[in-house]
Chain A
Amino acid sequence: MNLYAVYQFADGSFIGNAATAKSGAPIGKTEIDGFQELITGAKINF
């Protein structure tokens, strides 16, 4: 059995225009709030 922990952080920005507005992306630049995640678990081989 192996225990593990993973931490990650993500942020960024994107720029939408008329082509992407249909999918919900605002026109212009949108800054994305940072997103943090901590994952822990165990891996077991049988």
Chain B
Amino acid sequence: MGLFWWNDGTQHKVYEGTNMVEQSRVKFLGEAKIDKEWSAGYLLEIAIQGHVANRWNQLTDSSVSPNPINRDDVTFVRKSNWYLKSKRLGQVAVGLNGMATYHLLDDADPTLTRNVDDAEGPPIFMSAFLIRSNGNFVNNLTWPNILRGFNNSTPGDAARRNVVRYDSPDWHGFVLSASWGEADVWDAAVTYKQTFGDTSILARAGYGASNDPGTLVPVPSAPYVVGGTSCISSTAVSTSLPNFECTWEAAAATIQHEPTGLFVFGGWGRQVVDTDHVFPAGTFLSRTARHGSCAPASRNNGVRSGRRRSSRRTATTTPAPTPARPSAATSISGRLASSRGSKRPT
């Protein structure tokens, strides 16, 4: 549980809830050796969340999400997959799992602060807060309505999906990963981890694509989208179709001086959407968003200050009628801090 003090320039309050960067969870892992090289296993990971802190807003400290897994005091399955692993050939996992670019930006950060505030932290902490302009709400638009990225409003990061995932064995510090899921969601990533003297490096880069905008759950009061990649809207799929294609790419790295724990983390991500959906005549859709933060912090904690700027551009007149142009979003994040004795979540 954490305390969340917020101030939107007009009002301020303190809420109490679960830090949803990494909520409580229980993991069951069973593995059996087949021989000296081969092994097989099954992973089941269950989330246990109390009072969700990424679904409240100025009007209520209760979750405003109609999605059952975003409600208070629920459990749900985060991962459920079986795998076959070879020391020489790598691992293939089948089932509900993180895609190859899942937490791509976050998992390039091996430090302790990753557990409480990562690249997805800023949009998670913005939760469902309504934006204000000159003190007034803007037609009930929320920060997630303005920010982009289909997973926790973080361009470049993918999500957990039903996929077949492959991870190569370590080759001089390099690990290749790729995943594919039904309705054609796929991605690939490379991870590099190495130590040079007192300095360690962890870097990740990846690319993904999807033609599945997800499935609409038509709750009359507040529809929401599950599965797929809701790159344009998390409340509708109609504006994504036809011929929807979403691509994302990201790169991030952490360099750490091991004796002191000092480290620098930087990340970049982008999401681009193509659709033949015809928006109102004379307009095309183009969106960008970027955010960044870079701040000093003290050793072994998650203290960080930052600045997040976002913008959404949809404008420009073109000959009518016209299909939508690509929509893009970019994120840049960075951190300078110190951490020792860290443990990275999986």
Verify A20–B303 contact, CB threshold 8 A: no
Chain A CB within 8 A of B77 CB: no
Known A15-B314, A26-B138; judge A4-B9 contact (CB<8 A): no
Number of inter-chain CB pairs below 8 Å: 160
Q: Please tell me if the beta carbons of A34 and B9 are within 8 angstroms of each other in the complex.
A: yes
Q: Is the CB of A39 within 8 A of B314?
A: no
Residues in B309-346 with C-beta less than 8 Å from chain A: 309-316, 324, 343
For residue B126, CB closer than 8 A to chain A, the reply is yes
Residues of A with C-beta under 8 A to B6: 35-38
Given known pairs A15-B311, A15-B315, the reply for A33 and B9 (CB within 8 Å) is: yes
Which B residues touch A37, using CB under 8 A?
4-7, 125-126
On whether the beta carbons of A39 and B125 are closer than 8 Å, the reply is: yes
Interface residue tally for chain A (C-beta within 8 Å) = 38
Asked if B125 contacts A14 (CB within 8 A), the reply is no
Q: Is the CB of B132 within 8 A of A32?
A: yes
Instruction: Provide 26 A-B residue pairs closer than 8 Å at the C-beta atoms, listed in order of the A residue.
Output: A5-B301, A9-B307, A10-B143, A10-B291, A12-B146, A12-B309, A13-B311, A15-B311, A18-B282, A19-B279, A20-B285, A24-B141, A26-B138, A26-B139, A32-B131, A32-B132, A32-B146, A33-B10, A35-B7, A35-B9, A35-B131, A37-B5, A37-B6, A37-B125, A42-B1, A43-B116
> Which residues of chain A are within 8 angstroms of B300 by Cβ–Cβ distance?
2
Determine chain A's interface SS by DSSP, over half rule: strand
User: Cα distance A2–B302 when bound, in Å?
Assistant: 9
Q: How far is the CB of A29 from chain B (nearest CB, A)?
A: 9
